[in-house]
Chains A and B, each alone.
Chain A
Amino acid sequence: MKARLLESRRLLTLILVGAFLWSLLNVNWAEGLVHPGGLEALGQIALALFQPRLSPDILAAGAQASWTTVAYAVTGMTLALAIGLPLGVVASGVLTRVGWVRRLNVGSARFVLAFFRSIHELVWAWLFVAAVGLSPVAAVLALGIPYGGVLGRIYSELLQDVPEGPLRALRGAGASEWRVLWYGRLPMALPDMLSYTFYRFECGIRSAAILSFVGLGGLGYQIQISLADLNYGRMWTFVLFLILLVLLVGGWSGIVRRRLVV
């Protein structure tokens, strides 16, 4: 038993290293891999960090774009909650007891959640934009659907991992599974659920910024067009806005999550 386990971790390391080497072989190591002039351009970009354009209209544009990004993130998260919470409850299987009905419910909910999660938010965004054009609600859907899948999966696990004791007590008092969920599982799982939701919101801000690359407005969009215009100083201003936004939301999220753990 011990010898086998010793092997398994070493085996894993070997597999990982082997996979990495295999992937290296697949790169086209032809000449022309590196652009000599590119380093110069990068140097220019780097230098521009120290000269961000801080004129009032650019700052206003930055603030505006930041708000757009935040708005997308928040609306996306509300959609994610609307998707993740009900599907997560069904997927956790806590409402139905046994039998093929349960397996069908749980199975389909898990499948839907997995499907939502599998596709990157940008891919969803491209699909929605191709379908209905550059509407902001396309951004909301593009963020909400995959995040809903993630939230649903985590919620289902958290609801399942709740300690059995209090639930048994509730059932003994005659509560139905619905009541057990409302009065037992949800209150106990709530701090962890809120904590993870806030963590996802942090990620959501970054995703919302990237979504705007698709042309939906926001910080990502501004960064992209500044880069395309070779206007590096302007680009850095927006990048700094993004970093600031991420730090702000991250800080808030951190405070809330610390309080929840107490």
Chain B
Amino acid sequence: MSELPDVRTFPRSRTLPLRLDVLCISAIVAVVLVAASWLTVLNGDRIQQHGFFSTETLERSLTFLRDLLGIGTGRTPAFAQWEEWRKAATLAYDTLAMSVLGIGFAAIVAFATFMFGARNVMVGELAPYGSWVWRVVFVLVRGLYIAARGIPELVWAMVIIFVLSPGLLPGAVALGLHNSGILGKLASEVVEGLDPRPIRAMRSTGAGHMQVMVYAVLPQALPRFMTYLLYRWEVIIRTTIVVGFVAAGGLGLQFRLSMNQFHYTAIAMLLVWYLILVVGVDLLAAGLRRLAR
């Protein structure tokens, strides 16, 4: 009878089609991070004197909920007053305008620059022969994108408030600046994923590099650019209330005022308007996206 081969001499089979080396290390790092982070957080929590899972926290939460709903305060809750709803409607309208303005600014900047941030047409196989100018522009554009999106909208808003007086515009500019980096990067990546053949064929007609960009790169990238634009708008509408807090416009401003005055029922009403805006924009964007295809 033949001997069974020694299993230890078999090469170890891989059941998962993943390279295990980097992932193993990452998994270990992740576990350590999770443990350490939770320890830090719970430790910091203890310093705050009331643990998160204590009865006191529960009581405070319930009180807060009651205040939101206006139960037992004796005053008429804000959301029961028609006048308050009307005022909030104006603010919601302003917030919507701010978000559109913001995505508009971002779109303009991204549209003007995204082709120059794509590796393949600027420094790669589709780049013009031996011109260092394009290389420099590429690095500049990429750097600008990183800087723009690395700075959170809130920080942009705080800086812009120095220059522009509070209102819709500074918030929109802050949103626009931050998102131009995000939209620009997404759009550049679309260009990098394009089929090079039509671009090369366009080049062979003798067109200059900029002409090739306008005729071959731009039309191919545009549909996805629009899709990303709409997707970003959905994200922006959620952030507009936050920016409005600092830039003093729209729902965000009223939110801050109500917080300071502890008008919790007003906050509840503003939250409802906020949700209406978010859901509305999501639906709108989904509908418009169908047009982009």
| A residues adjacent to B (C-beta < 8 A) | 8-9, 11-13, 15-16, 19-20, 22-24, 26-28, 32-35, 38-39, 41-42, 45, 67-68, 70-75, 78, 115, 118-120, 122-123, 126-127, 130-137, 139-140, 187, 191, 206, 209-210, 213, 217, 220, 223-224, 227, 239, 242-243, 246, 252, 255-256, 259-260, 262
For the complex of A and B, the 7 pairs showing the least CB-CB separation, nearest first, are: A74-B37, A20-B104, A131-B64, A38-B163, A71-B37, A23-B100, A26-B97
A-B contact pairs, 12 of them (CB 8 A): A8-B291, A9-B223, A9-B291, A38-B163, A45-B162, A71-B41, A130-B259, A135-B48, A135-B57, A136-B45, A223-B155, A262-B19
Q: Do A34 and B165 have beta carbons less than 8 Å apart?
A: yes
Nearest CB of chain A from residue B142's CB, rounded to whole Å:
13
> Considering only CB atoms, which chain B residue lies closest to A26 in the complex?
B97
**B218 at interface by CB-CB < 8 Å:** no
Q: Do B168 and A28 have beta carbons less than 8 Å apart?
A: yes
User: Would you list which residues of chain B between 222 and 280 have a CB under 8 Å from chain A?
Assistant: 223, 226, 229, 238-239, 241-242, 245, 255, 259, 264, 267, 271, 274-275, 278-279
> Considering only CB atoms, which chain B residue lies closest to A191 in the complex?
B18
Q: Do A131 and B60 have beta carbons less than 8 Å apart?
A: yes
Nearest CB of chain B from residue A9's CB, rounded to whole Å:
7
Compute how far the CA of A210 lies from the CA of B155 in the bound complex, rounded to whole angstroms.
9
**B211 at interface by CB-CB < 8 Å:** no
Contact pick for A78, options B17, B34, B52, B100, CB 8 Å? B34
- Chain A residues contacting B45 (CB-CB under 8 Å) are 135-137
Compute how far the CA of A16 lies from the CA of B172 in the bound complex, rounded to whole angstroms.
16
- Chain B residues contacting A127 (CB-CB under 8 Å) are 64
Kindly supply a per-residue 1/0 record for chain B positions 106-126, scoring 1 wherever the CB is within 8 Å of any chain A CB and 0 otherwise. 010000000000000000000
**B189 at interface by CB-CB < 8 Å:** no
Specify which of B38, B41, B50, B255 lies most central, judged by the most chain A CB atoms within 10 Å of its CB.
Answer: B41
- Chain B residues contacting A26 (CB-CB under 8 Å) are 93-94, 97, 101, 168
Compute how far the CA of A102 lies from the CA of B262 in the bound complex, rounded to whole angstroms.
42
**Interface contacts beyond A123-B274, A137-B42: sample of 12 additional A-B pairs, CB < 8 Å, sorted by A:** A26-B93, A34-B164, A35-B163, A120-B238, A123-B241, A123-B242, A135-B48, A135-B50, A239-B151, A256-B22, A259-B19, A262-B17
- The answer to whether residues A246 and B18 also contact, given A132-B57, A134-B48 and a CB cut-off of 8 A, is no
> Considering only CB atoms, which chain A residue lies closest to B288 in the complex?
A12
- The answer to whether residues A259 and B288 also contact, given A22-B100, A210-B152 and a CB cut-off of 8 A, is no
Compute how far the CA of A232 lies from the CA of B214 in the bound complex, rounded to whole angstroms.
42
Compute how far the CA of A53 lies from the CA of B283 in the bound complex, rounded to whole angstroms.
48
Q: Do A120 and B241 have beta carbons less than 8 Å apart?
A: yes
Q: Do A35 and B48 have beta carbons less than 8 Å apart?
A: no
Compute how far the CA of A206 lies from the CA of B148 in the bound complex, rounded to whole angstroms.
13
Q: Do B38 and A75 have beta carbons less than 8 Å apart?
A: yes
**B159 at interface by CB-CB < 8 Å:** yes
**B292 at interface by CB-CB < 8 Å:** yes
- The answer to whether residues A20 and B18 also contact, given A35-B162, A71-B37 and a CB cut-off of 8 A, is no
